[in-house]
Amino acid sequence: MALPDVKQELTAARLDANAVPESGAWLAAARADAVARVQSMGLPTKRDEYWKYTDPTTLTSAQAPEAAVFEASDEAPLYDTIDRLRVVFVDGVFDAEASDDLTLEGVTIERLSDAGRADIHWAKDLYGVLETKGQIPVERPLAALNTALATDGLLIHVTGTPTKPISMIYRHKDASSDAVLHHVVKVEAGASVTILENGPAAARFNKCMEIDVADTGAFHHIRAQGRDHERRAVTHMFGRLGTESVFKSFTLTANGVLTRNEVVLELTGDDAQAHVAGAALGDGAFHHDDTVFITHDAVNCESRQVFKKVLRNGAVGVFQGKILVQPDAQKTDGYQISQSLLLDDDSQFLAKPELEIYADDVACSHGSTSGAIDEDALFYLRSRGVPKGRAEDLLVLSFLAEAIDEIEDADIAADILGRLEAWLERRRG
């Protein structure tokens, strides 16, 4: 079906704005395919059902809207006490000086901009491949755009169990930067890796990560999206899970004028486990969208989606979650919860928690709630001498606890909690 004119123009203008980076044979082919996908799908508009609650205009425009640079010193430090391998990108450009040496036992880390010059590379079987699979049944043109235009990223091949996490730090220094990064993570059988991400990245950031977890492999991911007020981000994670593999991802988002985080997972091996969680704190001009699509394609798998949002001063929280259980995916255990705490009357919570089930021996459930802070609980705390502001914070933290509990590593969880408390404290001023 031909695309409407509006979409054709939008798509052409966006593709014209950035040149497809020069690359070697394998990557050039993947990019050419992606350009064709973008052209046939067209970039999204507000009229698309999948963008009903989030206006993609500023994500698809040819020029990135400006975003004032936020002073990093204002941000509570994160992961400082954790031994990690630092990889720093400034406005989407690799910063060799600020980064650690990329060698680490049990893992090979290469940059896309280097490996992409080769004629052939192992990442050929994954780069743009999982993204393409993830376009069915719902199209995600911004991910295909990423595959076509990504200037850099990391290709991480995990063969063992590295002693420390790989920490990607995204700094934002240019008010009009428009960054496109694409990572590929391949976790071999029995291997295990933890990836940390944090920072605002750029005025506009389009990031894609493709993750292949082989049988009995494990992938842990903890992300903190920065406090840059004006930045915009669209991120995609495409995961394929083998037998008895584990995939766990947690995202903390505090501020940012627009964030759309999509997670698209396919459980292809029996007994796989996928947990996706998120905690978002929004204040003022904040629009945060979690869109999750989990497909169960194997027997006896478990998936969990836990998303909590605290919103105030006109902040908007969106959750679109889906569990799709294919006909043979018997004994599936699917759980999904999305909750929002609206701290005032101006904020909004928009949710579409979906189940699509074609197997009969499954237990799937979803819950979604929205409401204000519990006055009784507040009264109780105040009657015990806790000041109002602190009492509110305690209730906010207890509300977010279920999501934060999804982080397995206690040190990292403590760090994330610290950042949360700092945010609340600052807020109370």
Partner 1 sequence: MGLDVEVKDGVEEATVEAVKDLSTYKYGWETEIEMEYAPKGVNPDIVKLISEKNDEPEWMTEWRLQAFERWEKMTEPKWAMVDYPKIDFQDQYYYARPASMTEKPKSLDEVDPKLLETYAKLGIPLKEQAILAGVEMPEEERKVAVDAVFDSVSLGTTFKDELAKAGVIFCSISEAIKEHPELVKKYLGSVVPVSDNYYATLNSAVFSDGSFVYVPPGVRCPMELSTYFRINAENTGQFERTLIIADKGSYVSYLEGCTAPKRDVAQLHAAVVEIIIEEDAEVKYSTVQNWFPGDEDGKGGIYNFVTKRADCRGDRAKVMWTQVETGSAVTWKYPSCILRGDDTQGEFYSIAIANNYQQADTGTKMVHLGKNTKSRIVSKGISAGKAQNTYRGLVSMHPKAKNSRNYTQCDSLLIGDKCGAHTVPYIEVKNNSSRVEHEATTSKVDDDQLFYCRSRGMDEEEAVALVVNGFCKEVLQALPMEFAMEAQALVAISLEGSVG
The footprint of partner 1 (CB under 8 A) covers 49, 327, 330, 340, 342-345, 347-372
Burial class (CB in 10 A: 0-12, 13-18, 19+), 368: middle
Separation between Cα atoms, residue 304 and residue 294, nearest integer Å: 9
* 47 Cβ neighbours under 8 A, 6+ residues apart: none
For partner 1, the closer CB: 357 or 417 = 357
For partner 1, the closer CB: 49 or 101 = 49
Separation between Cα atoms, residue 239 and residue 384, nearest integer Å: 47
Please enumerate, as own/partner, the contacts of 56-62 that have beta carbons within 8 Å and a separation of 24 or more.
56/142, 56/234, 56/260, 58/204, 58/232, 58/258, 59/142, 59/204, 59/206, 59/232, 59/234, 59/258, 59/260, 60/10, 60/14, 60/142, 61/14, 62/13, 62/14, 62/16, 62/17
Q: What is the token pair recorded at 408?
A: 């397995």
For partner 1, the closer CB: 79 or 286 = 286
Q: Do 191 and 160 touch, CB atoms closer than 8 A? A: yes
Residue 261: beta bridge partners? Answer: 235, 290
Separation between Cα atoms, residue 322 and residue 265, nearest integer Å: 10
User: Least distance (Å) from partner 1 to the CB of residue 64?
Assistant: 29
For partner 1, the closer CB: 31 or 296 = 296
User: Least distance (Å) from partner 1 to the CB of residue 290?
Assistant: 14
Q: What does each C-alpha distance from 229 to 249, 254, 418 come to in angstroms?
A: 24, 9, 20
Q: Do 377 and 400 touch, CB atoms closer than 8 A? A: no
Say what the alpha-carbon torsion angle 416, 418, 420, 425 is, to the nearest 10 degrees.
-170
Q: Provide the 10 A C-beta neighbour count for residue 173.
A: 12
User: Least distance (Å) from partner 1 to the CB of residue 389?
Assistant: 18
User: Least distance (Å) from partner 1 to the CB of residue 273?
Assistant: 20
User: Least distance (Å) from partner 1 to the CB of residue 260?
Assistant: 18
Q: Do 124 and 155 touch, CB atoms closer than 8 A? A: no
For partner 1, the closer CB: 134 or 321 = 321
For partner 1, the closer CB: 26 or 349 = 349
Q: Do 85 and 107 touch, CB atoms closer than 8 A? A: no
For partner 1, the closer CB: 285 or 362 = 362
User: Least distance (Å) from partner 1 to the CB of residue 330?
Assistant: 8
For partner 1, the closer CB: 189 or 359 = 359
For partner 1, the closer CB: 354 or 408 = 354
* 328 Cβ neighbours under 8 A, 6+ residues apart: 297, 298, 299, 359
User: Least distance (Å) from partner 1 to the CB of residue 375?
Assistant: 10
User: Least distance (Å) from partner 1 to the CB of residue 74?
Assistant: 28
User: Least distance (Å) from partner 1 to the CB of residue 333?
Assistant: 11
Q: What is the token pair recorded at 419?
A: 């950042």
Q: Distance from first CA to last CA of the chain, Å, rounded? A: 54
For partner 1, the closer CB: 198 or 336 = 336
User: Least distance (Å) from partner 1 to the CB of residue 328?
Assistant: 8
Q: What does each C-alpha distance from 416 to 171, 275, 370 come to in angstroms?
A: 18, 17, 24
Q: Do 206 and 170 touch, CB atoms closer than 8 A? A: no
For partner 1, the closer CB: 54 or 340 = 340
User: Least distance (Å) from partner 1 to the CB of residue 282?
Assistant: 13
